[in-house]
Structure 1
Amino acid sequence: AGRPAIRRRDHICWRYKFGARLGEGGFGSVRKGTRYKDSLKAFHPKPLPLEIALAVIINRKPNCPHIIEMLDWQDDPDYYLIVLERPVPSMDMGKFLKCSGGVLSEQIAQYLMWQVIYAANFCCYRGVFHRDIKLENVLVNPTTLEIKLIDFGCGDLVKDSGYSTHLVYSTKPYFSPEYHDRGRYHAKPATVYSLGVLLFAMLHGRFPKARDLYCLGINQSVFAVSHECIRFLWAGLQRHPEHRIALEQMLYLDWFVLGFPNPLPINRNASKQHSCHR
């Protein structure tokens, strides 16, 4: 912990106290950090330049409250440093699921998904393709259920021509089928598919299988969720991208428009267990 042995007083490392390692991403490590001037909590990875460029684009004002905010960055001869906000309390959605018994109620999943989809739309609106939306890249405040989308290390700029390769660090269960079927995919349809996988995992504690997709397709639910939720899942998990719902339309499906009549139940159990996962 503490500042590394760097002589330049204007270096970014003189502005932050670095602490324990929080985890590893595809492009670097993540450590706790505290800004000296105001004790603001933060963490910093050592990313590639593209991640910094994407973060700069995403963080232009007005920014999105559901995307992690970049606080500072600096390039050095041998590496880059980027400092990001560290929401406290928070845990990634994978750990939040474990604290919630492995699955989420449909109402809590709906509330979390609205925020994730909003963030995904914001990214594409700004011309940024996250490309690795998954449980581990969504931070959840276990008390308020507010989320932050993190880790743009696999990201790219949105291109009309699409993409022919996946980065080795992005996560296979979330890959859109056209990557395997056609060897090519586009940002928005691929994002929609990964969001469908994310929601299925939140509701069922596992990734969708062929049998699950069949049941969704013929509307014979073996799942304890509403018909609106089934239609939402099926719209996002269509095998062919041209049949998939448009990313911009996801927030206007009946599942969100109709909503739930009861107040949102805050997951107090997950909040209490948070301390063991920090």
Structure 2
Amino acid sequence: MTVVFSSSPFSSFVLDSSRHRVTVSPAGSMERSTKAKSGSSFFERVLKGLKSPFRRRRDEEVVEFSQSEMEDFEPGLLGASPPPPEASFEDVPEEKQRKRKTVRSFFHKCNKTIRNLFLCGGQDRSRHPSPEPDHKDHEGESSLLPQEEPLISSDHYHPSDLELEDLAFECGYDYERLLGEGCYGSVFKAIHRADRSKKAAIKCITTYGVESYLEVDGEPRPVLAEVAMMLRLGTSCSSIIKLHDWMENDVGFILIMEVPDQSMTLQHYLDNCGSIDGGTASRFRHQLLDAVTHCFSHGIFHGDLHLENVLVSESSLDLKVIDFGCALAIEDEPFESSDYHGNEIFCPPEIDDQPTFFAEPAYVWCLAAMFEKIMKACETNEWCYIIRLCLARDPADRLRLDQM
């Protein structure tokens, strides 16, 4: 048997197994069929070898190993060894857990890189979905090849837990758990690797080329509107979630924000707390009004203000307004009603009645709707008069923010 190894464009090594010698010959003297051998044949031989790990070639025929030869192998190689005893991941020291996550993340990246090289030619599939399959194919054949399978569905793409672990690692954090998923992103809780006392909520926003971008002082180019809004708000208001850091990668944007301890949404709190006292209700009302006033004074309309987008800390009862993904810059008002993408339950009526709307009366309506929910949990009628004035169907008849 003769095997040809091509080490360069100018020469080839010829191994003659029958004579046990190696000769070197110019590449030009090799036959054209030898030149045409592609890398795929190499992988086919590797795959064939993996399928038959206990076979060897002798004089061009396949010979099975004898029983005595098989006994020379370690039991683990034959698959006969008993499974190792189960161990709980919690029993492993924290330092080893972090090392294992680091190693797993490394091999996951290697696997993803190799898959991209050999399946999709190095293209970024996460940003460019593959075209819809053509159903006019031959009988029994699939119209969508494995390498053409899109990672983004017709709805929205959400990263897997392993991908979120990779993102956390790149940010200097260790992934802890998923907090929630929305139309354009996922939010998970993470712990800083260097300082274990620091925790953060990391939001991964996948961009599809249809998002809004705004100019921000100090940035060389426009940034995602949600990032721009949070940078404009700053960190002076305690009732608005703080943005610690942000970055852009090849998939979208990553936002590193504060995460309140032992927090839940205000909707969940009101549904499960039974009834609340008047002091707690008044505290919630003033914090919400403070957050909205801060947003309005900084030229930002939240665009999706409702009870699910407000966090409450169980211990301190502090509120945090979150999720500025639907926010609009007030300097652009009047807004087109079609630009409103907020919660339908807390949607001001002018969104449906008129082609345009303004930020302040819309804010007043949303706040009044939230106050009404809080008032019902408090079992009081103290705010009824103010709420009725704020829920007037005509925006011109409502109170202003400074009158609430």
Question: Normalising to structure 2: TM-score of the pair?
Answer: 0.52
Residue aligning to 1:13 = 170
Do 2:303 and 2:341's aligned partners in 1 also have CA atoms closer than 8 Å?
no
Distance 1:201 1:183 in 2: 28
Do 2:350 and 2:394's aligned partners in 1 also have CA atoms closer than 8 Å?
yes
- 1:249 paired to 2:403: yes
Q: Which of 206, 225, 229 pairs up with 2:380?
A: 225
Residue aligning to 1:68 = 241
Counterpart residue type for residue 231 of structure 2: V
Q: Following superposition of structure 1 onto structure 2, how do residues 72-111 of structure 1 map, counting pairs within 5 Å?
A: 72-101=245-274, 103-111=275-283
Question: Which structure has the higher relative contact order (CA within 8 Å, separation 6+)?
Answer: 1
Equivalenced residue count is 226
Q: Tell me how far 1:77 sits from its aligned partner.
A: 2.3
Counterpart residue type for residue 391 of structure 2: L
Distance 1:166 1:141 in 2: 34
Once the two structures are overlaid, the 10-residue window that deviates more, 72-81 or 154-163, is: 154-163
Q: Tell me how far 1:157 sits from its aligned partner.
A: 0.9
Give me the CA root mean square deviation: 2.4
Q: Which of 284, 287, 292 pairs up with 1:112?
A: 284
Do 1:54 and 1:128's aligned partners in 2 also have CA atoms closer than 8 Å?
yes
Do 2:361 and 2:395's aligned partners in 1 also have CA atoms closer than 8 Å?
yes
Distance 1:94 1:242 in 2: 29
Q: Tell me how far 1:146 sits from its aligned partner.
A: 0.9
Q: Tell me how far 1:159 sits from its aligned partner.
A: 2.9
Deviation track 1:63-86 (CA, whole Å, cap 9, x = no partner) reads: 111100001100112211001100
* C-alpha spacing 1:128/1:177, structure 2 compared with 1 (3 Å): same
Q: Tell me how far 1:105 sits from its aligned partner.
A: 4.0
* C-alpha spacing 1:244/1:65, structure 2 compared with 1 (3 Å): same
Q: Tell me how far 1:12 sits from its aligned partner.
A: 7.7
Residue aligning to 2:227 = 52
Q: Following superposition of structure 1 onto structure 2, how do residues 17-36 of structure 1 map, counting pairs within 5 Å?
A: 17-36=174-193
SS for the counterpart of 1:32 is strand
Distance 2:339 2:317 in 1: 30
SS for the counterpart of 2:385 is helix
Residue aligning to 1:142 = 314
Distance 1:182 1:165 in 2: 7
Q: Tell me how far 1:123 sits from its aligned partner.
A: 0.6
Distance 2:190 2:352 in 1: 40
Distance 2:277 2:301 in 1: 29
- 1:178 paired to 2:357: no
- The gaps in structure 1 that reach 5 residues or longer are 206-222, 251-278
% identical aligned pairs: 27
Q: Which of 387, 390, 393 pairs up with 1:236?
A: 390
Higher share of residues assigned strand: 2
Q: Tell me how far 1:168 sits from its aligned partner.
A: 7.0
